[in-house]
């Protein structure tokens, strides 16, 4: 396992959260693309995935605004668009198992502060990607991503990076055929 790669991926992942907060979506797309290039996807695959991930983040903001306006139908429309963007990412990356719906759902439940639902869909996103043989890894990845979200909310960039590096360190140990991370 390459510790340097895990550190680079963790730093890029943490950077994505801050770029999202700053609404720097072009840079967010670039950071996401860099993650996939580092994971040995082609430049075209990586750039297209990065662009779609950036668009999904923008739609998540639109969904949050619809939620604040109490427009449930509009909010759900945005989440369906997010799911479709993330499914496109899966397709471009050649993933066999659909994890996009679980990422979309934990994003939605995160905004609605439904912790058990967040945990369930975070776990399913990882479990579906890494499989039963890596059940414990799926649990650890779920924990690290929960910690990333929790610490990010408190605006602690260093601890966010540390948790993201732990996430990638754990994930790269098993060399999965597909990655549960979609941005």
Whole-number pLDDT of residue 76: 97
Could you tell me if residue 110 is left (phi over 0), alpha (psi between -120 and 50 degrees) or otherwise beta?
alpha
Residue 154 scores a pLDDT above 80: no
Please report whether residue 180 resides in a domain. no
Please report whether residue 67 resides in a domain. yes
Please report whether residue 181 resides in a domain. no
CB hemisphere CA count around 121 (13 angstroms):
17
Please report whether residue 86 resides in a domain. yes
How many domains, the chain? 1
- Smallest Cα–Cα separation from 45: which of 105, 110, 87, 90? 90
CB proximity list for 22: less than 8 A, separation 6 or greater: none
Whole-number pLDDT of residue 67: 96
Please give the Cα distance from 108 to 153 (Å, whole number): 15
Residue 157 scores a pLDDT above 90: no
Stronger pLDDT, 43 or 157, i.e. the higher one: 43
* DSSP string for 125-159: HHHHHH-GGGHHHHHHHHHHHHHHHHHHHTT-HHH
C-alpha dist (Å) from residue 96 to 7, 107, 112, 169: 27, 22, 29, 23
Please report whether residue 155 resides in a domain. yes
Whole-number pLDDT of residue 96: 79
Residue 116 binned pLDDT confidence (cut-offs 50, 70, 90): very high
Please report whether residue 128 resides in a domain. yes
Please give the Cα distance from 103 to 59 (Å, whole number): 13
Residue 177 binned pLDDT confidence (cut-offs 50, 70, 90): confident
Residue 126 binned pLDDT confidence (cut-offs 50, 70, 90): very high
Residue 130 binned pLDDT confidence (cut-offs 50, 70, 90): very high
Whole-number pLDDT of residue 1: 54
The answer to whether residues 99 and 83 touch, using CB atoms and an 8 Å cutoff, is: no
Residue 66 scores a pLDDT above 80: yes
- Smallest Cα–Cα separation from 102: which of 164, 50, 145, 153? 145
Please report whether residue 183 resides in a domain. no
Strands (E), the chain: none
Range of the domain at 72: 3-174
Please give the Cα distance from 151 to 55 (Å, whole number): 24
Q: Does the predicted model carry a pTM greater than 0.85?
A: yes
The answer to whether residues 82 and 107 touch, using CB atoms and an 8 Å cutoff, is: yes
Residue 182 binned pLDDT confidence (cut-offs 50, 70, 90): confident
Please report whether residue 152 resides in a domain. yes
Please give the Cα distance from 80 to 78 (Å, whole number): 5
């Amino acid at each position: 396992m390459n510790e340097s790669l895990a550190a680079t991926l963790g730093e890029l992942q943490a950077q994505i959260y801050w770029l999202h907060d700053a609404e720097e979506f072009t840079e967010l797309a670039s950071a996401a693309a860099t993650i996939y290039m580092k994971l040995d996807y082609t430049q075209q695959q990586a750039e297209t995935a990065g662009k779609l991930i950036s668009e999904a983040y923008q739609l998540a903001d639109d969904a949050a605004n619809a939620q604040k306006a109490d427009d449930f139908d509009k909010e759900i429309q945005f989440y369906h668009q997010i799911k479709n963007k993330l499914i496109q990412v899966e397709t471009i990356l050649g993933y066999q198992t659909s994890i996009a719906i679980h990422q979309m759902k934990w994003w939605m439940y995160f905004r609605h502060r439904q912790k058990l639902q967040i945990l369930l869909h975070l776990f399913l996103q990882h479990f579906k990607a890494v499989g039963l043989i890596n059940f414990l890894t799926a649990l650890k990845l779920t924990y690290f991503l929960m910690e990333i979200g929790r610490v990010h909310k408190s605006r602690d960039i260093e601890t966010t990076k540390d948790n993201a590096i732990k996430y990638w360190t754990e994930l790269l140990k098993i060399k999965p055929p597909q990655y549960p991370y979609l941005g």
